[in-house]
Amino acid sequence: MSYYRHHVFFCTNQREPGADRPSCASCGAADAQAHAKKRIKALGLAGAGEVRVNKAGCLDRCEEGPVLVVYPEGVWYTYVDNSDIDEIIDQHLVGGEPVERLRI
């Protein structure tokens, strides 16, 4: 059994200006990760046996970003704003059903 029921990784990678690939950090990834972490804590879902929200370096899906991935399912998402993050939290992390419209 997994230590966490859901382990979520947000790419927060930032490349130098003029880089040949996009960066998730240029699309609000740090704020989105912070929002998710705060909301999971507020819901009482943080910790062992529950949900962990981590920052990650480049996950190599830059062109589809910003991206996050939920394990152990291995479900990948992109998002635009905090309402998308809330939908992923409510429907997938709490409800157990992936959000199909945000999957990549």
Residues of this chain that interact with ligand FES (CB under 6 A) are 11, 13, 23-24, 58-62, 65, 67
Among residues 5 and 54, whose Cβ is nearest to ligand FES? 54
CB of 91 to ligand FES, least distance (A): 23
In whole angstroms, give the CA distance from residue 55 to residue 69: 11
Among candidate residues 75, 82, 81, 79, the one with its CA nearest the CA of residue 98: 75
CB of 52 to ligand FES, least distance (A): 19
- Are residues 69 and 75 in contact, defined by beta-carbon separation less than 8 angstroms? yes
Among residues 31 and 50, whose Cβ is nearest to ligand FES? 31
